[in-house]
Structures are given as C-alpha cells and as structure tokens.
Structure 1
Amino acid sequence: MSEENKSVSTTGHQWDDEEGYPLQELNNPLPTWWLYTFYFTIALSIVWWILYPAWPMSESATRGTLGWTMHTQLREELAAAKQGRAVYEEQIDSMSLNDIVKDSGLKAYAESAGKAIFGDNCRPCHGQAGQNNTPGFPVLNDDDWIYGGKLANISETINNGRGGIMPIHLESAGGSFSEAQVNSLVDYVMSLSGMDHDAAAAAKGKALYNGDASCYTCHGNDAKGSLKGKADGEEIDDSVGAPNLTDAIWLYGSSRDVIYKTIAYGRNGKMPAWGEGFQGFGKQLTPLDIKKLAIYVHGLGGGQ
C-alpha cells in the first residue's frame, strides 16, 4: 500500500525497499461468511459438550444428556449383526451339509463364516487357506485325502479328530525287522513313486511289504492307500487312514532319511477333536461351527 493511502487500516508494519518506497501490511477484516462459520463451530461444540461425553473427570467423564457411549453403540451394532445372521444360522443348523451347499446363498455364508473359524483355530497347523508347508500337517486345498474328502468325512474329522498310527519296524527300536530289512522297505516305497532306488533291495522290500511286514493290510497290495487300495481283494476300512504311497505326495517329506525314519520308528500323527471329545487348543466348536468349517474346507479346492 502506498504511503499516501491512509484510509485503509494496517498492522503498523512497514518495510522500505532500496529506492525508499514504503511497503505496509494491510489489516483487512475476515470475510463475513468465514467469521460466522467460525462462530457456528464454537456454538456447535458447546451443544456437543452438552449432548455427548466430553470432559474428563477424576474417575470418568461428563456423560452427556443423550447417554451415548461407544460401548453402547458397539453392543447395538453387534446385536443388529447377530439378528441379521440369525436367518442363515437357523437354516444351516436345521439342514444337512449336502443340502446347504446346494443353496448358493447359504453356501457363501457358511464359507465366509467357516473362513473366520479356520483362521482362529486351524491356520496355525494347516496354514493360510490350507496351503500348509510344514511337515506333518496335511495340505487341505488339494485332492489327496487320507480319510476321505466328502463333506461327511471332513465333518467327522473335525468333530471327532483322527489318530493315525504308523507302527515301529526297526528291531532295535521295538519293531521286528533288521536294519537291512527296513532299508529294503525304504527302497520299495521309493520305487512306488518313481524315485531313485536300489532295484534289488526294492524287490526284497516288496516281498516284505506283502509278507511278514503286512504293510499291504493298511496300504493295500497296490499301495494306493486305505481309501483306494484293497488287501487281498478286500476293501480296507476308511478309518485306517493309510496314505497312498504311489502319488508322490508326502506328509513328512520325500527324502530317503525321512522315509527311513517313518518306517523304522513309526509315526503317531494326531488331529484333535474340536467337537465331541474336545481336544482342541482354543474353544470347543459347536455343531453349527463344525458345519460351516467343513463346508469351508471342502471348498478350498480338493473336496470330493
């Protein structure tokens, strides 16, 4: 502002440039709309302080005339969500697993709820979405099943648990066979899935497999496992849980050392029961939870 213009209010600050022309800072008033907006926010904050919890006190805070709290709102929202789920929960509870998956809406709801249950209880052992890479815990998104991949099989596994027992074979560990005999069994098992092996030892192992070691009674004469194989022409009970030895899918690993350890010292894998006879690590699952979880696992990609 030039020095001659005295009609406009200034802050009193003045700077002179090198040529002696003064530069002054104006003191223009705030725009009316902005000023009233500012006053409105002050009034609104006072109303807010009256209606809602606002000022902290020694043991609590002012509660406000509406009595609102975040805890109350949360409880109301949870109750509303529960009420919204009730129609699905009642239908799933009263229907069979096979009928549930025929209804696309119910199936989608069950899979979504089952995913949450899986994350809370099953993921530590079986991995995210069943994609496990830890030896001893089966992958759940392929089609390799030990006890069966139908909805009823999966539900039974979750509810009652499973206890797979591979007996000890090495004589020094409590079994009935020498080191050489155990190694011949190892070579035969490796030959079944096309792995490098000693052919002469594998031939001896095959004789043991179908003879004194009686491996065929669980794994079948063709080593296809208790679900697909037969022992002397007879079906094997599905509850045996003997794996297929010909598909190159390994629960504990495929190296010679791991296979030797399995045959020589046995295995005692255990899937805890999450329903009846609860042996889980969190809370016992309800029959409704087990239904939803079975449908989720079945839908991971390998369900039969």
Structure 2
Amino acid sequence: MAGDKKVETTGHQWDDEEGHPLQEYNNPLPTWWLYAFYACIVYAVIYWILFPAWPTMGSEEFTKGVLGWSNVKQLTQEMARAQEAKKPFDARLAALPLEEIAKNNDLFQYALAGGKSVFANNCVPCHGSGGTGAKGYPNLVDDDWLYDGTLADIQLSINNGRSGQMPAHLNTAGGAFGAEQVNALVEYVLKISGQAHDAALAKQGDALFHGDGACFSCHGDHGKGSLLDTVANQKLDKSVGAPNLTDAIWLYGGDRQTVHTTVASGRSGQMPAWGDGYTGLGKKLDPLDVKKVALFVHSLGGGR
C-alpha cells in the first residue's frame, strides 16, 4: 500500500524450483511496544523490592519487601479496627435486655447483622439458610413453636439447648402397647388432625390417649400441644415441648405411616446448647452472639 513503510530484508535468500526466491525480512517491533515492555520489567523489579515477591529456596519463607506490607497484615489491621468500632455497640447490647434492644433501631439493625452471620455459620446446616427447616428440624419462620417463640424463650433454647423425647409405645420397641393399640392411637391422631381415619379404631385410640397411654399429659386434653393445651386445672408447661396434633404442621410428617412410626418407635429431637458453659456441637457462642442470633431468629417472621 502507498505510504506503507518498506520492510528491509536481511539479505538472506533461498531459491525455489519455480524461480521465486524466498527472502528473510527484518521487521522489528514498534518502538512504543519495546518501551512498554521495558517499563514492565522496571515496574516488576521495583515491585519485587517493595512488596513480598519471591519464595525462599527450601523453606516456606519469602522476600518481605522493604515496605513490610502483606495481605495478612492488612487484614489483621482492618479486623482490629472493626473490633474497635464494634465495642460501643457490643457494650450496649450486653447491658440492655432483648426487648429494649428491639426498640432501638440502630442497635437492633446492628444485632440483626451480627445474628445473621452467626446463624449462617452455625444454624444453617439444620434449619436451612432461610430458617425454613427440614424434616426433623423446626421451621423458624412460622408461628408454630414447641417451646414458645418469645425473645426470652428463643434465647433460652439457643443458650441451653432443648431435648425433645417422644417415647416409643409399641411393645417390641420398648413400649407397653401391642400393634392394635398403636394402630388405634394412630387413627385417633389422624382424626384430631382432620385427616381420613378409621372411626372405630379412633374411638379406641381416644380412650388410650386419655387413659393408659397418658398422651394427654404432654399433648393436653385436646391434643393441642404443651403451649396451648394441658390437663384440666393445670398450668401450661413451656418446657415440655409437645407438639400440637390438631394442626397441619408436622416435624417428621403427618401421613399415616409416619405417624405410626412416631407412635410406635418414638422420636428423639436434640437442639444443641450453644451458650456459655455448654459445648453445643463442639462449639460455644459468647453471650453477645446468643443475643444477636436470638434477635435474628425472632425477626424471621415467626417470633411471638
């Protein structure tokens, strides 16, 4: 093309059989590219001098750089500053009861942010990332609670843990009833929960529920659970944790087969204790973290 710079040859030439010579050209890189390349080399040398760069032969050490900077040191400094910034908020959290914290929007939002982090690191494996639970693990976003959903009760559950024991009733599983009696109890539970059932067996189950089975002593005279129902003339006992059998909310499932398994073989539910003086799942939360996660769980929508 007109105006193109002519490329010189090196003078080296090969002749081919058809009379067209092959020539070796000398086409150097643009000057600006060379300068940029040299600048990169200079920059790299300066970087090696200033910052950590090269591993030391035969060890896990490395050249430190004259500035003494490192990602670890920067992270440590930033974390220390963050801890200092948190101290005034944590002091107020420690001093105030949960109900007062919930009324202070700035402090409440700070507690929720911390509680969300604590929940994600410790509670998600059982209760799920959204707190909706799974089979055998309670849903924390509805208003159905075994031990009540007030701030104080949630804090107590987290700090001290809970142990829910449903005894086995089938004689071959350690209980006192035969197969027909267990079937009768199952049909009665299906009846009071509004499901299809055998009326004759349910009538027998009613007698067992309020008699030899003593189911009413935990679930209440009407089967509504220990938070809503109890034996006549007795006070409600929040520590029992017996579920409501008349609604459609089931921890393990409400179909006939699952209810039969529960009545026959029993259930053993364990909420680990996370508070000071307990080990939880090999971990322990400090009192502030217990407060934060209690406020977070209460805020999920089901708290009373």
TM-score, structure 1 as length reference: 0.85
- SS of residue matched to 1:105: helix
Which ranges in structure 2 are unaligned for 5 or more consecutive residues?
Answer: 14-19
CA contact (8 A) 2:52 2:64 kept: yes
Matched, 1:67 2:77: no
CA contact (8 A) 1:166 1:266 kept: yes
Q: Deviations over 1:73-102 (max 9, x none)?
A: 121122122222222222212211111111
Matched, 1:227 2:213: no
Q: Who is 1:44 aligned against?
A: 43
Q: Who is 2:287 aligned against?
A: 287
Compared CA separation, residues 9 and 210, structure 1 to 2 (3 A): closer
Compared CA separation, residues 110 and 137, structure 1 to 2 (3 A): same
Same amino acid, percent of matched pairs = 49
CA contact (8 A) 1:220 1:236 kept: no
Matched, 1:81 2:92: no
Count of paired positions: 298
Compared CA separation, residues 9 and 255, structure 1 to 2 (3 A): closer
Q: Deviations over 1:243-288 (max 9, x none)?
A: 1111111111112122112222222222121114524224111111
Please list, as runs of the form range in 1=range in 2, the aligned pairs for 1:193-212 lying within 5 A after superposition. 193-212=193-212
| Structure 1 counterpart of 2:103, one-letter code | K
Q: Who is 1:261 aligned against?
A: 261
Q: Who is 1:246 aligned against?
A: 246
Q: Who is 1:17 aligned against?
A: none
Larger CA deviation: 60-69 vs 95-104: 60-69
Matched, 1:145 2:160: no
Larger CA deviation: 163-172 vs 213-222: 163-172
- SS of residue matched to 1:230: coil
C-alpha separation in 2, matches of 1:128 and 1:234: 39
C-alpha separation in 2, matches of 1:289 and 1:265: 37
Q: CA deviation at 1:49?
A: 2.5
C-alpha separation in 2, matches of 1:8 and 1:94: 84
Q: Deviations over 1:119-140 (max 9, x none)?
A: 2222222222212223x21111
CA contact (8 A) 2:171 2:177 kept: yes
Q: CA deviation at 1:298?
A: 1.1
Q: CA deviation at 1:195?
A: 0.8
Larger CA deviation: 47-56 vs 77-86: 47-56
- SS of residue matched to 2:55: coil
Compared CA separation, residues 77 and 277, structure 1 to 2 (3 A): closer
Larger CA deviation: 151-160 vs 180-189: 180-189
CA contact (8 A) 1:8 1:26 kept: no
Q: Deviations over 1:41-68 (max 9, x none)?
A: 4443333232222333313333222111
Q: CA deviation at 1:302?
A: 0.7
CA contact (8 A) 2:276 2:286 kept: no
C-alpha separation in 2, matches of 1:208 and 1:132: 32
